[in-house]
């Protein structure tokens, strides 16, 4: 008796991936004007942020990081350390590339917050919406990051626009989840008390629920920022310039030194952004108590 069926799956469903590809390409061509307008907006948005970052003298940026870190952590030693790390990036000749990377990251995070924060609030008001959106968020969070590059590339071409779109889709999940979670974990008695004192549901949301949930929401902002930093390196594969492109070039050319230097710069920026936003979270928790 043939037992191959025990080790080899007995049948396969024929999936016509070519038809899917054709449909997506036709769709992108049909609505090229729409996608083109989004592309132009994103190019302008990223360029504005990059222009602002480039306009600020490097020494002002470093001093600002030192001051902000000192104010948040109450330790001047941390501020000096982070300032020295930024100065180190400059001495490596990567300051301009750092600004390009930050422009894409900040644009992506801004879009994630603008879209994700209201969506998180909306989901928190409805259990049914939460049940519908939760599996979608699970899929978005577990989907391999490279998959996001394909539709972004097809709809928006090469460069910064698809990088922002792909990064936004990947990084938006934490702010939605944690905004929803933060508002839901508030004691119902507090909300009921605010309504009993004459607040409308909207006033209760703005003046009571969001301030109470702010530490959790800020944690979502921190996670969104970190995921954007991770994704922006991957998006160099679709033409996003900056430190990610340096890493990609070093991989393609097997240049260990170049990859180590540019990779270290990415780590430094990620650590500084992470520590600053975490400090804001801790301060928010202290203030809320």
pLDDT in tens, 45-93: 989 999 998 898 989 999 998 998 888 878 888 889 989 999 998 888 8
* Containing structural domain, residue 275: 19-55+92-288
**Rounded-to-integer distance, Cα 186 and Cα 44, Å:** 40
Looking at residue 185, what is its pLDDT?
Answer: 82
Question: Is residue 277 situated within a structural domain?
Answer: yes
pTM given for the model: 0.84
Question: Is residue 48 situated within a structural domain?
Answer: yes
Question: Is residue 14 situated within a structural domain?
Answer: no
Question: Is residue 12 situated within a structural domain?
Answer: no
Please check whether residue 53 is in contact with residue 103, taking contact to mean a CB–CB distance below 8 angstroms: yes
Question: Is residue 5 situated within a structural domain?
Answer: no
What one-character DSSP code corresponds to residue 197?
T
Question: Is residue 162 situated within a structural domain?
Answer: yes
Tally of domains within the chain: 1
Please check whether residue 268 is in contact with residue 57, taking contact to mean a CB–CB distance below 8 angstroms: no
pLDDT in tens, 174-233: 898 888 888 888 777 776 777 776 667 777 777 777 778 788 888 888 888 888 888 878
CATH number for the domain that contains residue 191: 1.10.3720.10
Looking at residue 222, what is its pLDDT?
Answer: 86
């Amino acid at each position: 008796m043939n037992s191959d069926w025990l080790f080899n799956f007995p049948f396969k469903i024929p999936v016509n991936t070519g038809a899917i590809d054709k449909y997506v390409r036709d769709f992108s061509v049909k609505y090229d004007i729409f996608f083109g307008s989004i592309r132009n907006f994103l190019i302008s948005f990223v360029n504005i942020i990059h222009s602002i970052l480039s306009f600020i003298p490097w020494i002002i940026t470093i001093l600002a990081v030192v001051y902000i870190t000192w104010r948040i952590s109450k330790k001047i030693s941390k501020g000096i350390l982070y300032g020295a790390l930024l100065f180190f990036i400059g001495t490596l000749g990567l300051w301009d590339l750092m600004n390009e990377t930050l422009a894409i990251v900040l644009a992506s995070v801004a879009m994630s917050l603008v879209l994700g924060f209201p969506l998180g609030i909306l989901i928190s008001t409805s259990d049914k919406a939460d049940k519908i959106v939760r599996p979608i968020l699970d899929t978005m969070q577990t989907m391999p990051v490279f998959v996001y590059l394909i539709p972004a590339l097809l709809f928006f071409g090469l460069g910064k626009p698809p990088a922002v779109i792909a990064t936004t889709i990947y990084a938006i999940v934490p702010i939605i989840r944690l905004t929803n979670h933060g508002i839901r974990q508030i004691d119902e008695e507090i909300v009921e008390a605010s309504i009993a004192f004459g607040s409308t549901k909207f006033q209760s949301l703005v003046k009571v629920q969001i301030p109470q949930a702010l530490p959790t929401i800020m944690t979502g902002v921190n996670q969104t920022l970190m995921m954007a930093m991770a994704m922006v390196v991957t998006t160099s594969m679709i033409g996003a310039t900056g430190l990610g492109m340096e890493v990609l070039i070093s991989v393609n050319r097997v240049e260990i030194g170049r990859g180590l230097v540019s990779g270290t710069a990415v780590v430094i920026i990620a650590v500084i952004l992470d520590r600053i936003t975490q400090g804001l979270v801790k301060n928010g928790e202290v203030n809320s108590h």
